[in-house]
Amino acid sequence: MAALLDGLPATERKRFQVIDDHFSVGMIRSDPPDHTRLRKLINKAFVPRVVAESRSQIESLVDQLLEPWSDPLEVDLVKDFAYPLPATAICQMLGVPPEDRNLVHEWTLGINAVIVGTLPLREAAAKMQKALLELQEYFRNMIADRRQALRNDLMSLLVTAKDELEQLSESELLSTAENLFSAGHETTTSLIANGVVTLLKHPEQWQRLCENPGAPDLPMAIEEILRYESPVQRQTRVVRHNCNLAGQQRGHHFFYSL
């Protein structure tokens, strides 16, 4: 994100300090040893009990969403299933009330504005910063509430996650919550939609799954769809040291997309 914002004049860059600060912390934006510390702390919130409870809640949610489909004339896969399933599931896990689901979703769309790249950089950065400030305030209130009274949700586990004298700072908590919601539902929505489109284009594979809906075929199909029609179309990497890439010398500030 810093490399993208470098394309703006210094005065403009300073306007978007909130974005710079937010994207400079967090597990997926750090290298060891900081990444190791954060991952160890965050993993404490993903204990077997939480995963087992989430599985049960998600299975129940799938049944609820499919129930009206008993004899439909037409359904919108994304609107009626692929979006509400992961968005609702991650809200339940974090402790976000169902009535706030669409609000948080709109904020994550705004935060992705620069990454998506469909708007001019200044306009996208302004949209991203506004959404980021509003989402941070929302999660900041949630964090304060959990510190007053813990609940049976992932946010409470993240707030209390400790390792000896270490625990997540507020900025790390905000970064983690935003990452979990954004990465936890946007990619799954795309996986479900991409998966159905891919299987419609390959009816023989669709038939194979219908005839063998369990393991190993279904897990293998999901992994292959993730590879063949990935929800993430590119991944940016920033090199840490001067290097030679495709015969060209690159400085350590060079970044590229895979």
Q: What is the mean pLDDT of residues 9-20?
A: 85
What is the pTM for the complete model shown? 0.81
Q: In this structure, which CATH number among 3.90.1150.10, 1.10.1200.10, 1.10.357.10, 1.10.630.10 belongs to the domain 2-183?
A: 1.10.630.10
Distance spanning both ends of the chain, measured CA to CA: 16
H/E element holding 167?
strand 166-167
Q: Report which of residues 220 and 47 the model is more confident about.
A: 220
Q: What is the DSSP letter of 193?
A: H
Closest by CA to 173, choosing from 48, 53, 54, 41, is 41
CB under 8 Å to 199, separation ≥6 — which residues?
205, 206, 209
CB under 8 Å to 131, separation ≥6 — which residues?
106, 107, 108, 109, 110, 111, 113
The domain ranges of the chain are: 2-183, 202-258
Give the per-residue pLDDT at 108. Answer: 86
Q: How far apart are CA 243 and CA 246, in angstroms?
A: 10
Cα three-residue angle 188-192-194, rounded to 5 degrees: 110
Encode pLDDT of 87-135 as tens digits: 889 888 899 998 898 898 889 888 888 777 778 888 888 999 999 999 9
